[in-house]
Structure 1
């Protein structure tokens, strides 16, 4: 099953595909993982840190649209699978910041949203939607982690791919993905930032941009 299933399945299908494909894996995943998937009109990258002793999960998600510059960076904290904090920043033409904290009963103890520099109040429906999205992202992250779908990022320059760890690699891109990287190289000067996914099912190109992804990607100590 090729990694293009990440695009085709959608949210619910993605979960079903991954859980079906990966139900046989028994090995405990590492405490710090990076993954991602093709989202609606963009790419989603996820970094996750689990603290079993504290029963907490911290996730940083980065949504990068394929068109425009409205990158959305969200930090989540979960305690015993319940969302406790959401901190979101969206840049672009209409910048937005969001902060929500929940108590141990799931009720908001603090919330604030700013759009274009103006504070706005969150409605009950919006608050419920943010909680639902947080829980859904936790489930997707869990499935991606169980399925060993690993996010890789690196720098492409002069036909050489170097990961953020400094290792030269040769990702097993299909012909279409390799052609896309080559085309972007011809239209760019200097190095390109490249993100891709590796899994037992294969390799999938996720994102190519005139940006150094390695410069800002989260580290374990930062989650």
Structure 2
């Protein structure tokens, strides 16, 4: 997966989080698929301060192997790309980067007993160790994101990314798409596209309860969207 820099994007600040919240609650109380979910899935959710997009790959027994979280803050700040890797369902690696900035990041490795075997915070001009509180914070975030990904899959909440070109939406796989968006969102998108020469990248959630736009940006999401091979 290529590192990304979102630049200026325009999240729909009037996005209702009720859809995502209800699906999370539904999934967390025991909803399950009638059949096993695909081993490679994509989903996402709205947090208080930004947008999270998740790509997950499981092994044949549906234990997590790799989970990538792309976090895009609403107002300024870096896009954070965090890669979680697992061995036998246990957290093995946390690697976080700041968009395309290769001079900053965090790497944490864990042994089979869950103890830290390697840790490093890469700054612009130095490498430093993480504190015990930092390590616990990254472990907590890893558990939170994994549990959210389970709930979102249980609710069949799927992330789709694509391109808007003069009113025609095509997914990154080249398939024509027509997200079921409310009138307010459609009007917003048309206005947003007009400011971008009628060409945009879109990311949206598709679920049984409806569709929700997550992001609309001038930059091309399809250029870096993770594929299954990127998570192996």
Q: TM-score, normalised by structure 2?
A: 0.85
Kindly tell me the number of residue pairs found equivalent between the two proteins. Answer: 217
Alpha-carbon contact 1:6-1:38 (below 8 Å) kept: no
User: In structure 2, what is the Cα distance between the partners aligned to 1:110 and 1:215?
Assistant: 32
1:129 aligns with 2:137: yes
Aligned to 2:214: 206
Equivalent residue runs for 1:64-213 within 5 Å: 64-91=72-99, 96-189=104-197, 191-213=199-221
User: In structure 2, what is the Cα distance between the partners aligned to 1:164 and 1:203?
Assistant: 17
Aligned to 1:18: 27
Aligned to 2:18: 5
Q: Are residues 125 and 172 of structure 1, via their aligned partners in 2, closer, same or farther at CA, if it must alter by over 3 Å?
A: same
182-191 or 125-134, larger mean C-alpha shift: 182-191
Q: Are residues 171 and 38 of structure 1, via their aligned partners in 2, closer, same or farther at CA, if it must alter by over 3 Å?
A: same
60-69 or 147-156, larger mean C-alpha shift: 60-69
Which segments of 5 or more consecutive residues in structure 1 lack a partner in the other structure?
none
Runs of 4+ deviating beyond 4 Å: 53-56, 92-95
User: In structure 1, what is the Cα distance between the partners aligned to 2:16 and 2:192?
Assistant: 22
* Deviation sequence 1:36-91 (CA, Å, 0-9, x none): 01122211000000013595421111011122251001110123432110110014
Aligned to 2:12: none
Which segments of 5 or more consecutive residues in structure 2 lack a partner in the other structure?
1-14
